[in-house]
Amino acid sequence: MRTNIVIDDQLMAEALKASGYETKQSLLALEQYEMFGNDMAAKCADNYRALRKRGITIRKTADVIIATFCIEKELPLLFLDRAFIPFVDSLGLEPALREA
């Protein structure tokens, strides 16, 4: 099964700052999404509050934004950070890799 890799605009900017020419060309070939806007802000707040009601606090706003974006766009997220697990367990975030 082939899966597309996409990157958000903020991460693209961070990656391009520290990249050489070849890496830059590879990054620019990825499908890029604009991640944030008014609708996303409201959805992020809703997801944050939904997790808080379950007694879960997500410490980094960026994690809420990334998870909410992936949930809304139905994109799997490749992650190692445990902060995304509540989004998987409670809000339907699809992990790109499942634990065996």
pLDDT at position 3 is 65
CB burial of 61-97 (b: ≥16 within 10 Å; e: otherwise) equals: eebbbbbbbbbeeebebebeeebbebbbeeeebeeee
What domains can you pick out in the chain, each with its CATH number?
A: 1-34 (no CATH), 35-100 (3.40.50.1010)
pTM of the model: 0.79
Which has more pLDDT, 47 or 16? Answer: 47
Structural tokens at position 44: 């992020």
pLDDT at position 72 is 95
Q: What is the pLDDT of residues 25-79, one digit of tens each?
A: 888 888 877 787 789 999 999 999 999 999 999 999 999 999 999 999 999 999 9
pLDDT of 1 higher than 70: no
